[in-house]
Structure 1
Amino acid sequence: MMSKGVAAIGECMLELSGQNGPDWRLGFAGDTFNTLWALAALTGGPATYVSAFGDDPFSQRQIEFFAENGIGIGASPVIIGARPGLYAITLDGAERSFTYWRSDSAARQLASDATALAKSMENQSLVYFSGITLAILDREARKTLLSAISNARAAGSQVAFDPNYRPRLWPERETAQVAIAEALAVSDIALPTFPDEQMLHGDRTPEDTAERIGRSVREVVVKNGELPALVSVGADGQEVAAIHVAKPVDTTGAGDSFNGGYLAARLAGLAPADAARRAHRVASRVVQVRGALAPFEMLREAFDE
């Protein structure tokens, strides 16, 4: 149990998943929320989702769902007339594709109140955000966000960042490169995914990714799907094998839950390579359920086994 909490910043959307004929399941998910979900399950301490919310029934139900699972929203603003984004998961076997409706989501205003944003990050052991968090904000809002994160770091919070590059969310690649570099400059732990970094920077190998990001961030974990993760701390690098799941059900949220498992293990004092092993176990459970969120107990069992 931690005396301080953990906070994640970003956009939690309505999720339509589990298509079997005409029936869909409505849930709540989004990259940083998926990671916070795992952190909340595995740390046992306070968890805060920092965003902005609408005043519609779906937003109200979203906030209630958070509370039912021990997750607060801090000082996040409620925007009159706004509503959450929506995405649908379409499956081909276990592989998924997404359709989004998010251009006017409330979360795009998460940095509209700098004072509230800073308050939500007070007294946190860990602050986590992603490249998607950056991508949904305009330039001035990104500046406000990074300033608040830098101040939280100066006050004692660890900062973790997943570049999570999604080309469709950025006007051009160069804008993403600049924004992500600025985010890395205020981070203690980086959790990139190698195929994303290939698209964004043309990296040839995970080692290239770790070396480049390692110039800004001392602790780097390069995820690579079912291939080993590369854990790089300073000049030391180590591969940690993934866990093969013979018949995955849905790979949505696997990388996000890896991040949550890794960060929970690091907060508990485990060494980086050991934390990556725990993270792989957590991710291997998530791909065995529909949607991005596995039950807390399932995540805890994987983490502790």
Structure 2
Amino acid sequence: MSLLSIVAPCFNEEESVEIFLEEIQKTLKDYNFEVIYVNDGSRDNTLKNIKYLASKNSNVRYISFSRNFGKESAIYAGLTYASGDFVCLMDVDLQHPPKLLPEMMESVLNEGYDVAAARRVSRKGEPRIKSFFSHLFYKVFNRISEIDLVEGATDYRIMTRQVVDSVLDLPEYNRFSKGLFQWVGFDTKWIDYENVERAAGESTWSFWGLVKYSGEGVVAFTTLPLTISMILGTIFSVLAFGYLIFIVIRYLLYSDPVQGYPTIMCSLLLLGGIQLLSIGALGKYLEKTYFEAKNRPIFIVKESNIDGE
């Protein structure tokens, strides 16, 4: 029977890891599967609880980082160490409903799809401002980037070994998995589901954390901010040159001294703001290049029960 590797990144999820495993065992009792917990530098008893589960269940594996590297690194590590014919990414807090797994497996086993991915069609229970900015992000991203993200798309998906290997062939340090999954292509079946509350604990994602993550995605898949900076620079240079000619001609014809201190100050502040914005955009891309050039590892494993570690 084909092996399904379930990769579950964890950060301070001591209350959820056991509940998660119980739900997976009930849902996949007729499947051959393994669960790979990726402990992303948790500061609570997450690792202790995972080790306990591993001692009682032969199909429970774990990877523990030397520190917190972030969810993107945890995803990459899980994909790297997963040995299954199919690999599933899931959140351990059960906001990704395990009841979808049989349908997802059927899609990749018998329907010819390379990926079966879950798409959240409602954000019931979330703050309205968070839902608004999420919708805005997808709308803007799809307008300016080279790829199209499906609105509501999650990391929750089952992939064939070919898809997983294709994602692992993209070893970039600055990762935005939603974009990478779309970039590699392959036939994907989208399965809709309603928003689900966490099984336990509290989310470690803050609103500003999500804003920052969205910005990382934009920088990773489009250079439009740099193009906009160049266009604005060109427009204002032409306008400034035209205004200079206007002032000279006006003085020569009418001997009219130049007036308008408020106008000059507003122009300086506007141009200064645009310059700083452009430098900031350039700096963000330079930052990404800087970290890529360092060629540091995406994660460091401190301990694991997977063979070879």
Whose RCO is larger (CA < 8 A, sep 6+)? 2
Structure with higher helix content: 2
Please identify the structure whose Cα radius of gyration is greater: 2
Structure with higher strand content: 1
TM-score, with structure 1 as normaliser: 0.32
TM-score, with structure 2 as normaliser: 0.31
